[in-house]
Amino acid sequence: MISITKDRDLLLETLLVPLVQGENLESDIANLAEELKLPKTLLTEQIKAEKKEVSLFYPVAHKSIKRVYCLGLGTKPTLKMVIDAFKRFLQMEAAKLPSNLSIDISNGNFDPEFIPVLTEGLVSGLILGTYKKGLYQTSNVPEHKWDSEQLKLQFFVKDNFDAKVKIAADKGRAIAETQLKILRLVNAPSNKLTPIKMGQEAVMSGKEFGYKVEVHDEKAIEKLGLFALMAVGQGSETPARFIVMEYKPKVTGTILPKVGLIGKGVTFDTGGLSIKGSSNMHYMKSDMGGAAAVLGTIELTAKLKLPVHLIVVIPTTENCVDAKALKPGDVIRSYAEKTIEIIDTDAEGRLILADGIAYLNKNYSPDVMIDVATLTGSCVQTLGYEAGGLFTNNDDLALGLITAGDRCGERLWRLPLWDSYEGDIKSDIADVKNYSGKPIAGAISAAKFLEFFSDKHANWAHLDIAGVAFGDAEFYTQKTATAFGVRLLTDFIAGLEK
């Protein structure tokens, strides 16, 4: 629950105060010292407002406040910096904190345009900080005694900021609660999140937030002609699913932009007969990070009631090894009625995406079409863990996605999609091959493969999020999910012209 007030007599026992470095910091500290009835020198000595700085004070002379946490945000903080600061704070202090918190943004001399950013970020950060990673531990000590639903935040604001703060706070909560779901899905072991379970998650989300969901089973997949998806899934005892979701708000007199998203949903990837090494194979439970991102995007779009016609397609399967598994050298069919030579069975994600892209394009004719996938190690080698790879031939689409990513802190970097790379996917015996066989430009040749199945759509983009969907994080001993893509795609969709 989120409440807004200007009545300082309602302050709760625990108060959070965000502070920004700059010329106003001294006056902010002076105002805070007066409010808390504490010596200004005490606060000045401890508070520098640097990033990751947390200062704790006990204002014993104050009639209601027992503890004050001052959180430093550094200089010119971005939305991501605010989210990270409050998420980290809650993860550090969760065991000591009550579920009811006061947050004072009235004393700080913040730029008026920054206040909604600050509000959205701190609400999102606090909620994301409630994520409990030990979901399958039987005797673990709870990291905190409450969850995001029990978190109650009380904002103290300046005059005329009530409405802006409430809107930003509600948005921050909506986004973070969806991201919590995505974290749970991407971190789930593959025996807990199968393609069947993925379909069930989509159905539950659609029922709760009011959008249409259709889950096609293995018989329907064959009937539809999704042969590339079938081929990848034939080595697994767990059958594949093909999920189609559609959100279309009832808006009279307006032509809504039609956006199509496709997410790679490989719930576990052994590599098939081109098997992966064992050292990090357990992390391949995260190979459905693209599917989770687009599922989160349609859920959040429906929550926020954005004026867009959104279609989301998730081909989901396991890539396993048995006697029926796809073999290197095989030639398979696809939904687009094109044949594919299999060079490497570990290049399976692009196969199921090919069917998803062709299906969405043919049946819905979207104005904009974007696929999202944890697709290649090549992209990780190129960009590391700081940005996703962006491939498109449309400069306006590239600018829109990059701008949205910069705004929300989920950054993209554009990589080439030149025709000179087409030779990497040419086959002597089929229409196209799924892997170049070269140890270079792997992310680019994968994107060229997907472009082949986009039918040269004028507004198509491919996002390779292999390096940013799952990675190292503070307070974790193993790699973990990030929920990358949900904010980015939702921000991009919200910015589309009607």
Q: Check 197, 350, 433, 448 and give the catalytic one.
A: 350
H/E stretch holding 167 reads: helix 162-187
346 assigned binding-site residue: yes
Distance between CA atoms of residues 484 and 489, nearest Å: 9
348 assigned binding-site residue: yes
Half-sphere exposure of 225 (CA within 13 A, CB side): 10
Q: Check 158, 276, 414, 479 and give the catalytic one.
A: 276
* Beta carbons of 215 and 243 less than 8 angstroms apart: yes
Residue 88 designated active-site: no
Residue 350 designated active-site: yes
Tokens of 72: 């430093």
Distance between CA atoms of residues 34 and 40, nearest Å: 8
45 assigned binding-site residue: no
269 assigned binding-site residue: yes
When computed from its CA atoms, the radius of gyration of the chain, rounded to whole angstroms, is 24
H/E stretch holding 244 reads: strand 241-247
Distance between CA atoms of residues 81 and 77, nearest Å: 6
Backbone angles phi and psi of 67, in degrees to 5:
-140, 140
CA 330 distance to own-chain centroid: 35
* Residues 6 or more apart whose Cβ sits within 8 Å of residue 7: none
β-bridge mates for residue 319, sequence order: 269
H helices present in 188-309, as ranges? 195-209, 218-224, 227-233, 289-304
β-bridge mates for residue 101, sequence order: 153
The C-alpha angle with vertex 494 and arms to 491 and 498, in degrees rounded to 5, equals 150
Classify residue 410 by its DSSP letter: -
Task: For tokens 């000591």, name the residue.
Answer: 96
Backbone angles phi and psi of 483, in degrees to 5:
65, 25
The identity of residue 432, as a single letter, is: V
Which residue, 175, 400, 449, is CA-closest to 301? 175
Which residue, 16, 15, 100, is CA-closest to 62? 15
Binding positions are 264, 269, 287, 346, 348
Binding positions for Mn(2+) are 264, 269, 287, 346, 348
Catalogue the active-site residues: 276, 350
